[in-house]
Amino acid sequence: MLKVLLVEDNPGQSQIYSESLDKSGFKVISVYDGSEIEEVIDKEDIDIIVSDTDMPMVNGNIACERLLKLGKVKDKLIVGMSSRFDFKSYWFGIAHNFISKKHIHDLGEIIQRMYDKFKSSPNPKRYGNF
């Protein structure tokens, strides 16, 4: 079973996303700020990080960029999400893909398709590194 680290500061949204991922067969670990990502990565064997961009303490993209530089998430699928229209620029060179929160209908199915593509690529590219 694939493990997803879901990083979403809105508890209601987090529950909705978590339920969708769970229905699709993922094991979900939820945290509510980018500052919590590293602790989970160090303790759990995470396959996928799905993170909101704007957070109260540490933004998801900043936390993932730091972990990427430390080599802790190089083999993890990173998916950025936001309701902002310009959020892709925040994830440039960090995330493999993006989801606009305005268009999430079935997060579990979307993440499964992204993961399948990620694993089938011999050298997955991050946004901006194509």
CA separation, residue 42 to residues 45, 103, 108 (Å): 8, 31, 24
Residues 27-78 have pLDDT tens digits of 999 999 999 999 999 999 999 999 999 999 999 999 999 999 999 998 999 9
Angle between helices 107-120 and 11-23 (to 10 degrees): 60
In the prediction, which pLDDT does 130 show?
37
Does position 85 have pLDDT exceeding 80, yes or no? no
Strand partners, 35: none
Q: Which domains does the chain carry?
A: 3-120 (3.40.50.2300)
* Residue with more model confidence, 58 or 92: 58
| Residues linked to residue 52 through DSSP beta bridges, in sequence order | 81
Closest CA to 95 of 79, 110, 83: 79
Question: What pLDDT, on a 0 to 100 scale, did the predictor assign at position 128?
Answer: 54
Distances, alpha carbon 21 to alpha carbons 16, 87, 105, in Å: 9, 22, 11
What is the pTM (predicted TM-score) of this model? 0.90
